[in-house]
Structure 1
Amino acid sequence: MKLSLKKIANLVGGNVIGNDSFIIEGINSLDAAAQGEISFFADRKYKESLRKTKASAIIVSEENLLFRGPQVVVSNPALAYAKVASIFAPPVPRYPGISEQAVLHDSTRIGKDVSIYPLVYVGEEALIGDGVIMFPGVFIGDRVKIGNGTIIYPNVTILQDCQIGNNVIINAGTVIGSDGFGFVRDGPVSVKIPQIGMVQIDDDVEIGANSCIDRAASGKTWIKRGVKTDNFVHVAHNVIIGEDTIVVAQVAISGSVHIGRQVIIGGQVAISDHVEIGDRVMIGSQSGVPKSIPSGELVSGTPAMPHRLWLKTSGIIRRLPQFNEHLRHLEKRVAELEKNL
């Protein structure tokens, strides 16, 4: 792939400062870029990397005198970089057609232009859409529906009756539709509650590697359009995650939680069951969320609280040993004064 800077600028809605006919053959970071490649600069802490880069051109928010080559000026360099990277990114590798070593039930319906690698299993009455790619070790259960253009990476398991939308990416090792954790105590014994629901994943969702999305006890666990989850995320039964929400690595979402639209959940957050998270909430990393959060809030800490309050609280926590020492000194002084009364 070779593109002129002028064409790249048109694709990202930018303007070129310098030679707009220069041909770009790839994209890379400032430190790794070579001649013929383009990079981007959006954070001042990388100005030394910008000064030393061997990139032939850069994407910036405004002209930068530290770089002497052509510059593509845009309003959002990181977004422009993502768009350009998608052009130069190599295509997803495809197996030519359906491998003879794949196992597909006779009742399975397969769309056009699919790529099914060896050692894939597809169960009874499953529906596989057009252009789907399934890598080795994928298990598709009975009556599962997979939408058009979906990519399912190695060793993914999608159990019976689950529904996957169009243009979904499911990364390696993820399990979708495993039983939710539902038990009732009968004296000392835990009696399992049958998990008879399903999982629905809407269009344009990406699920990170080694994640678990449990089927509903009844009804559905629902991941709505445009949701992006990182690796090692656990979504329990009957959870609903709203459109365009981002869930970072190692988040645990308990059963029947309802999460709104455009929420951002930082890494290692834990959310208690039956909690409601409003639209556009931001939850800081390692927070514990025991109760519902209204729309638009920014929270951090355990238990989660307004972010500014958490900053003050965490500052006090670091000073507790000093406060304790001071308190003991005061107690000793008071005891001495009482003796002299």
Structure 2
Amino acid sequence: MPAPESVGRGNPAHGRRLRSLVRLPFMTLTAAQLAEHLKGEVVGDASTPLTGFAAADLARPGDLTFAEKDTYFAAAEASAASAILVSGPFTSATKVIIRVANARIAAARVLPLFFPPDAPVAGIHPTATVAATAGIDPSAQIGPGCVIGDGVRIGARTVLLGGNHIGRDSQLGDDVRLFPNVVIYPRTHIGHRVAIHAGTVIGSDGYGYVFDQGQHRKILQVGNVVIHDDVEIGANSAIDRAALGSTVIGAGTKIDNLVHVAHNVVFGRHCLIMGQAGFAGSTQLGDYCVIASQSGIAGHLKLGRQVTVGGKSGVMRDVADKETVLGFPAVPDKQAKRQWIGIQKLPEMLLRLRELEKQVEELKAKRA
């Protein structure tokens, strides 16, 4: 699998400009500046200063808020906010309007301006243990209690916040952020701009055993995990290394808290995996799959591109491109909904059946 160095790094010049902008103390942006950043338009006083971003019920003067629907816009207009981010034909006599193509996407782009992440504090904490053969970029931050194994490579501006264990020969790209107590097992490859939240374990043993002479004999799991660029993994998740080869998380995939990914699973690009989902070994997901919470995916299956799995579903078969499945066992969504409607009607149907049985018995009695 490719090392992190081979994966694209985006536009560093843009990153430098943005970081220089958000580092300004007591930063104030005008409505015009925000509209330019978002490729939107201002309706009202374009020089209005904006110093924060807040929900309508919490907004203060100087804040920007946003609204997608009529009810939300009414609340935003009644709030103390100075400006409202909208998409659609909303107008206001009392607030500055910043109109964009999609207010939710614009809100996601605005938030880092007002709430920038802490900049890395380059250096290695004196309580960290770093192997002599490890290579750490001078701009990286290695926090307290970290252990860096032999042959590890850590890229520019990467941050290990504390208590992180990085196994031998692992590679972490640029701008990676490991929150406290993340553990990376040996030979893991992590690309650029990856965030892994507290308590997650990457590269633990896959669950492989064979029954031999009355006992379960362990099959050594000698592969690794490869995580591509722009992945985010939530807290207390576990991604197992492959038995042979690699467990792979595709670029841009976002994984929620408490997710288990077994050995040799391969996720495509830009998948969304929600909390408490589990994937058995050697399953493959295409690009842009959405797996809702508390779903389980059996092993050795193939889910195509843009597959959606509804919450609490159990997938026991392959799923074709763009198919939506629900239920346990999971079936196509229309079929599942018909089944649910049928189940809801069962009590009424049971009463009718009993009435029919009673009528049949009465007819039998009359003929006798």
Q: State the TM-score, normalizing by the size of structure 1.
A: 0.96
Q: Percent identity?
A: 37
The aligned amino acid for 2:202 is I
The aligned amino acid for 2:29 is L
- State yes or no: 1:242 paired with 2:260: no
Secondary structure at the aligned position of 1:79 is classed as helix
Aligned partner of 1:325 in structure 2 is 351
List per-residue Cα deviations over 1:178-221 (Å, max 9, x = no partner): 01111112254211111000000001111111100000010000
The aligned amino acid for 1:63 is P
1:212-251 correspondence to structure 2 within 5 Å: 212-251=238-277
Aligned partner of 2:334 in structure 1 is 308
Runs of 5+ unmatched residues, structure 2: 1-26
The partner residue of 2:181 within 150, 155, 166 is 155
Question: Is the contact made by 1:50 and 1:67 (CA closer than 8 Å) also made in structure 2?
Answer: no
What is the CA-CA distance between 1:320 and the residue it aligns to?
Answer: 1.9
Determine the C-alpha separation between the residues in 2 that align with 1:198 and 1:191. 21
Aligned partner of 1:278 in structure 2 is 304
Aligned partner of 1:73 in structure 2 is 99
Question: Is the contact made by 1:232 and 1:251 (CA closer than 8 Å) also made in structure 2?
Answer: yes
The partner residue of 2:115 within 89, 106, 109 is 89
Question: Is the contact made by 1:177 and 1:213 (CA closer than 8 Å) also made in structure 2?
Answer: yes
The partner residue of 2:363 within 331, 337, 340 is 337
Determine the C-alpha separation between the residues in 2 that align with 1:281 and 1:214. 23
The aligned amino acid for 2:259 is V
User: How has the CA–CA distance of structure 1 residues 151 and 3 changed in structure 2, closer, same or farther, with 3 Å as cutoff?
Assistant: same
- State yes or no: 1:119 paired with 2:168: no
Aligned partner of 1:263 in structure 2 is 289
The partner residue of 1:196 within 212, 219, 222 is 222
Secondary structure at the aligned position of 1:180 is classed as coil
What is the CA-CA distance between 1:314 and the residue it aligns to?
Answer: 1.5
User: How has the CA–CA distance of structure 1 residues 303 and 135 changed in structure 2, closer, same or farther, with 3 Å as cutoff?
Assistant: same
The partner residue of 2:208 within 169, 179, 182 is 182
The aligned amino acid for 1:256 is S
Aligned partner of 1:253 in structure 2 is 279
List per-residue Cα deviations over 1:127-149 (Å, max 9, x = no partner): 11111100111110111111111
List per-residue Cα deviations over 1:275-294 (Å, max 9, x = no partner): 11111112211111111111
Determine the C-alpha separation between the residues in 1 that align with 2:119 and 2:197. 14
What is the CA-CA distance between 1:45 and the residue it aligns to?
Answer: 5.1
Secondary structure at the aligned position of 1:72 is classed as strand
Determine the C-alpha separation between the residues in 2 that align with 1:178 and 1:43. 45
- State yes or no: 1:142 paired with 2:175: no
Determine the C-alpha separation between the residues in 2 that align with 1:201 and 1:226. 10
Determine the C-alpha separation between the residues in 1 that align with 2:98 and 2:254. 29
User: How has the CA–CA distance of structure 1 residues 210 and 44 changed in structure 2, closer, same or farther, with 3 Å as cutoff?
Assistant: farther
- Relative to its length, the structure with more helix (as a share) is 2
List per-residue Cα deviations over 1:20-71 (Å, max 9, x = no partner): 1111111111221211111111144535533432211111112325773011
Q: Which shifted more, 33-42 or 324-333? A: 324-333
Question: Is the contact made by 1:180 and 1:217 (CA closer than 8 Å) also made in structure 2?
Answer: yes
What is the CA-CA distance between 1:10 and the residue it aligns to?
Answer: 1.2
Q: Which shifted more, 87-96 or 292-301? A: 87-96
User: How has the CA–CA distance of structure 1 residues 288 and 195 changed in structure 2, closer, same or farther, with 3 Å as cutoff?
Assistant: same
The aligned amino acid for 1:207 is I
User: How has the CA–CA distance of structure 1 residues 48 and 104 changed in structure 2, closer, same or farther, with 3 Å as cutoff?
Assistant: same
Aligned partner of 1:19 in structure 2 is 45
Secondary structure at the aligned position of 2:138 is classed as coil
Determine the C-alpha separation between the residues in 2 that align with 1:17 and 1:316. 52
Determine the C-alpha separation between the residues in 2 that align with 1:227 and 1:297. 19
Determine the C-alpha separation between the residues in 2 that align with 1:340 and 1:256. 65
Q: Which shifted more, 142-151 or 306-315? A: 306-315
Secondary structure at the aligned position of 2:101 is classed as coil
Q: State the TM-score, normalizing by the size of structure 2.
A: 0.89
Question: Is the contact made by 1:103 and 1:120 (CA closer than 8 Å) also made in structure 2?
Answer: yes
Determine the C-alpha separation between the residues in 2 that align with 1:43 and 1:155. 41
Determine the C-alpha separation between the residues in 2 that align with 1:45 and 1:333. 55
Aligned partner of 1:98 in structure 2 is 124
List per-residue Cα deviations over 1:88-145 (Å, max 9, x = no partner): 1132364451101001111111112111111011111111111110011111011111
Q: Which shifted more, 124-133 or 315-324? A: 315-324
Determine the C-alpha separation between the residues in 1 that align with 2:42 and 2:364. 80
Question: Is the contact made by 2:91 and 2:97 (CA closer than 8 Å) also made in structure 1?
Answer: no
What is the CA-CA distance between 1:303 and the residue it aligns to?
Answer: 1.8
Determine the C-alpha separation between the residues in 1 that align with 2:210 and 2:193. 38
What is the CA-CA distance between 1:241 and the residue it aligns to?
Answer: 0.4
